[in-house]
């Protein structure tokens, strides 16, 4: 009975299956179909507790028993399974269902027919999935033919695989492996038992070829398979070798040699083959990655005491270099710029190692294929010709659509940028390497826009760039910066933005000589006196110290006895002698007496507000004068007084 009056899912798939033997259902999104099953069953993104799984399974089986007796109640089953998808508890469900069938003759009587109806006579996806997973307990003659139809759609293949695993149909699972793609391939590969050489070889050679979760498959196939045994047992030509090496590069990109079982021996086999028979782009890329991995291991494990391992590493590194410096690789690289299946990062890495100079037209093709790849941007700014750099900056700004990127200030660091926002890294590279003399037409505007980047480092670089052309900022630019100062969430950047504002000519810029004060060295016996707020900072041009003055920084005090307004005046300065203001009159009388009697006083900055008008400092009485008195006394007693000091 078809409750929804729609075409049965089984009939739709069977019609396609009969017309297109061994072809996957084309009306599915191979990047999405089966993803929910993958996330829950393999990534464990959402898990019920065991008691919840058992409770839901029991409730579901009770509903199945009732519906099998009175099919009119099918809506209740549909509602229940839609609310509680079987993927969340399928193992518990099958175990309990098996026991129910063993002791419940009434359920067993109509079970096969009822379950096959769920599989073949429904337009509800979750009902069909329930039927497929339940069919492993059926004894229907044509069950395998029915399941075969569902192997063309990744929404159902997980349940087919689980059913076949339960039935011990490993050969059938292998056939599905060879025909599947997307999440369906992940399910079939991860449930395949490689019981013979054909299966083991296929797993290593083709098991990782996929469009989703490639790293997951590579790890499973290559780390789970015996790659060293494969190299030793098989005779292979360049094409077959290149196919395995393509998957190996994905593995060694994510793992160091010493993290891979038999990693050194596997790499030696690869080096031996490529030395003897050369190879294609993935052969070259594998040598590049092996070389990088060895260099990384040597750098990180610089204290390795095992001379044998060191010698092997150095020998492999030398052999890798002898391979990749061969000029023949330049032709291999050159041929691959039109190959859309080759990632730009692979060609860039190979070009850098072999010193192949990428031409502008080649770079254009790479860039247009993947304009969101940071490695392409870094290559252009580091190794690219002036014309490549120019192309990158103009096209990068155009293609990245910076107005979508610049969503406003946030506190996101480059190291924390998620992969789906990787273009933010590309934009940072543009701002970081942009030079005014090369891009005078866009320099100011693009840096002003970059102040709205959510990435902290991008905003810092933009401010640094704008400081170079501060005199070119007009009134509109200043108004824009003032708005950003209000919106800025990072205190240090807010201060840096204030530096961009025009200097107030009425404010004071004053440096004084503090040579004698600089000899003060903080000592454990220094005595804390008080915390005060520096006065008269509103008269000082703080742009001189903006982004240079920070909390916990040392400041110095110097008497200004010639001050006509206050004979007790005490100046507060930076370590460069820049005057920040005065000790307030209410606090300077006692401090003046101490300083006039040869006592040293200094301070640490406790807090600074955004525009530097409110600076609070902790004052300390230095122990320096005591040390000087001791030194003077000892000088009278001995010419070698330093020997008395501990």
How big, in percent rounded to 5, are the helix, strand and coil portions of the chain? 60, 5, 30
Give, for 606, the enclosing helix (H) or strand (E): strand 601-608
Calculated CA dihedral for residues 607, 613, 617, 622, nearest 10 degrees: 140
For 618, other C-beta atoms within 10 Å of its C-beta total 17
**Residue 151: its pLDDT value, please?**
96
User: Where are the chain's structural domains?
Assistant: 1-190, 194-325, 401-502, 516-630
For residues 566 and 560, what is the distance between their CA atoms, to the nearest angstrom? 9
CA distance 28 to 138: 28
Average of pLDDT values for 601-627? 90
Residues 185, 210: contact at Cβ < 8 Å?
yes
Write the pLDDT tens digit of every residue in 150-164. Answer: 999 999 999 999 999
Percent of the chain at pLDDT exceeding 70: 95
DSSP state of 534: P
Token match 């072809």: residue?
Answer: 23
The pair of structure tokens assigned to 300 is 């990180």
Instruction: Give the closest residue to 557 by CA, choosing from 511, 615, 619, 608.
Output: 619
Map tokens 């941007």 to a residue: 377
- Give the residue among 325, 269, 258 at the shortest CA–CA distance from 295: 258
Q: Which long-range CB contacts under 8 A does 1-6 form with residues at least 24 apart?
A: 1/71, 1/74, 1/117, 1/121, 2/121, 2/122, 2/123, 3/74, 3/75, 3/78, 3/122, 3/123, 3/124, 4/123, 4/124, 6/123
Q: What is the largest CA-CA distance in the chain?
A: 114
Q: Enumerate the H helices of 104-237 as residue ranges.
A: 105-120, 125-134, 143-150, 154-167, 170-179, 183-189, 197-205, 214-218, 224, 227-233
Residue 280 has a pLDDT of 93
pTM, full prediction: 0.70
Which structure tokens are listed for 587?
A: 């606090």
Compute how many other C-beta atoms are within 10 angstroms of the C-beta atom of residue 528: 10
pLDDT digits (tens, 9 = 90+) for 207-217: 999 999 988 89
Distance between CA atoms of residues 287 and 506, nearest Å: 65
Whether residue 605 contacts residue 615, with contact meaning beta carbons closer than 8 Å, is answered with: yes
* Secondary structure of residue 493 in the 3-state scheme: helix
The predicted structure's pLDDT at residue 75:
93
Contact present, 622 and 598 (Cβ < 8 Å): no
Residue 451 burial by CB count (10 A; 0-12/13-18/19+): exposed, middle or buried?
buried
Q: Strand, coil or helix: what is 578?
A: strand
HSE-up of 356 (CA within 13 Å, CB side)?
28
Q: Calculate the average pLDDT of the chain.
A: 89
pLDDT tens readout for residues 240-282? 888 899 999 999 998 888 888 888 999 999 999 999 888 899 9
Q: List the Cα angle 193/211/375 in 5-degree steps.
A: 125
pLDDT of residue 587: 92
Q: Is the pLDDT confidence value at 303 over 80?
A: no
Residue 432: HSE in the Cβ half-sphere, 13 Å Cα cutoff: 17
- What's the whole-number mean pLDDT along residues 496-500? 86
In the structure, what pLDDT confidence band is assigned to residue 572 with cuts at 50, 70 and 90?
A: very high
For residue range 585-611, what is the model confidence (pLDDT) as tens digits? 999 999 999 999 989 999 999 999 877
Question: Percent of the chain beyond pLDDT 90?
Answer: 65
Task: Residue 635: count other Cβ atoms within 10 Å of its Cβ.
Answer: 13
Instruction: Supply the pLDDT for residue 637.
Output: 60
Count CB-CB contacts under 10 A for residue 144: 13
Please give the Cα distance from 95 to 92 (Å, whole number): 5
In the sheet with 579-582, reading across from the earlier edge strand, the strands are 527-533, 615-621, 601-608, 554-559, 570-573, 579-582
State the residue for tokens 């005065």.
582
In CATH, what class is 516-630? alpha beta
**pLDDT tens profile 514-566:** 998 888 889 999 999 999 999 999 889 887 887 788 899 999 999 999 998 99
With beta carbons less than 8 A apart as the criterion, state whether 621 and 527 touch.
Answer: yes
DSSP 222: I
Supply the pLDDT for residue 299: 65
Q: Which residues contact 528 (CB under 8 A, 6 or more apart)?
A: 618, 619, 620
Q: Report the pLDDT value the prediction gives residue 261, as an integer from 0 to 100.
A: 86
pLDDT tens digit sequence for 394-440: 999 999 987 788 988 888 999 999 988 999 999 999 999 999 999 99
């Amino acid at each position: 009975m078809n409750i929804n009056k729609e075409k049965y899912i089984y009939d739709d798939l069977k019609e396609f299956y009969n017309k297109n033997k061994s072809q996957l259902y084309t009306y599915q999104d191979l990047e999405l179909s089966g993803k929910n099953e993958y996330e829950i069953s393999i990534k464990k993104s959402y898990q019920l507790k065991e008691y919840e799984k058992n409770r839901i399974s029991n409730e579901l089986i009770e509903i199945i028993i009732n519906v099998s007796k009175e099919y009119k109640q099918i809506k209740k089953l549909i509602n229940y399974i839609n609310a509680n998808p079987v993927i969340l508890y399928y193992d518990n469900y099958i175990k309990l269902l098996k026991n129910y069938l063993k002791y419940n003759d009434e359920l067993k009587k109509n079970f096969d027919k009822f379950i096959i109806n769920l599989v073949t006579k429904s337009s509800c996806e979750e009902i069909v999935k329930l039927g497929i997973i339940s069919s492993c307990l059926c004894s229907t003659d044509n069950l395998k033919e029915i399941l075969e139809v569902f192997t063309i759609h990744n929404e159902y293949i997980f349940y087919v695989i689980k059913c076949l695993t339960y039935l011990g149909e490993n050969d059938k699972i292998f056939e599905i492996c060879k025909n599947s793609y997307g999440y369906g391939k992940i399910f079939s590969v991860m449930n395949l038992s490689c019981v013979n050489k054909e299966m083991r070889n296929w797993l290593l050679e083709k098991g990782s070829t996929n469009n989703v979760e490639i790293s997951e498959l590579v790890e499973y196939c290559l780390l789970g398979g015996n790659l060293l045994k494969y190299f030793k047992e098989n005779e292979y030509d360049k094409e077959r070798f290149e196919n395995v090496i393509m998957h190996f590069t994905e593995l060694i990109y994510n793992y160091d040699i010493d993290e891979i079982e038999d990693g050194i021996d596997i790499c030696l086999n690869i080096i031996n083959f490529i030395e003897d028979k050369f190879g294609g782009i993935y052969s070259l890329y594998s040598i590049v990655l092996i070389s990088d991995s060895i260099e990384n291991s040597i750098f990180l494990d610089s204290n390795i005491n095992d001379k044998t391992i060191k010698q092997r590493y150095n020998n492999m590194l030398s052999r890798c270099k002898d391979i990749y410096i061969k000029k023949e690789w330049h032709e291999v690289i050159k041929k691959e710029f039109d190959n859309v299946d080759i990632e730009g990062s692979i060609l860039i890495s190979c070009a850098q190692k072999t010193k192949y100079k990428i031409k502008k037209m080649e770079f254009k093709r790479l860039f247009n294929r993947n304009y969101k790849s940071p490695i392409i941007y870094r290559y252009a700014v580091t190794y690219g010709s002036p014309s490549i750099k120019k192309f990158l900056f103009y096209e990068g700004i155009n293609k990245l659509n910076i107005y979508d990127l610049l969503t406003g200030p946030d506190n996101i660091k480059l190291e924390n940028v998620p992969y789906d926002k990787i273009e933010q890294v590309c934009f940072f590279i543009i701002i970081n390497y942009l030079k005014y003399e090369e891009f005078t037409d866009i320099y100011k505007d693009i840096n002003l826009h970059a102040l709205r980047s959510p990435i902290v480092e991008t905003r810092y670089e933009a401010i640094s760039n704008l400081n170079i052309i501060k005199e070119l900022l007009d009134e509109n630019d200043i108004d824009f910066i003032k708005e950003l100062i209000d919106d800025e969430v990072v205190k240090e950047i807010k201060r840096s933005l204030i530096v961009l504002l025009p200097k107030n000519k009425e404010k004071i810029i004053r440096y004084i000589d503090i040579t004698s004060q600089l000899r003060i060295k903080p000592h454990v016996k220094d005595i804390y006196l008080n915390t005060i707020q520096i006065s008269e900072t509103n008269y000082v041009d703080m742009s001189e110290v903006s982004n240079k003055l920070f909390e916990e920084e040392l400041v110095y005090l110097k008497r200004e006895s010639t001050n006509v307004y206050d004979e007790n005046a005490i100046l507060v300065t930076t370590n460069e002698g820049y005057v920040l203001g005065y000790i307030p009159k209410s606090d300077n009388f006692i401090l003046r007496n101490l300083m006039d009697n040869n006592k040293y006083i200094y301070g640490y900055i406790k807090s600074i507000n955004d525009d530097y008008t409110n600076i609070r400092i902790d004052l300390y009485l230095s122990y320096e004068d005591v040390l000087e008195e001791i030194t003077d006394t000892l000088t009278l007693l001995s010419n070698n007084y330093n020997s008395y000091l501990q």
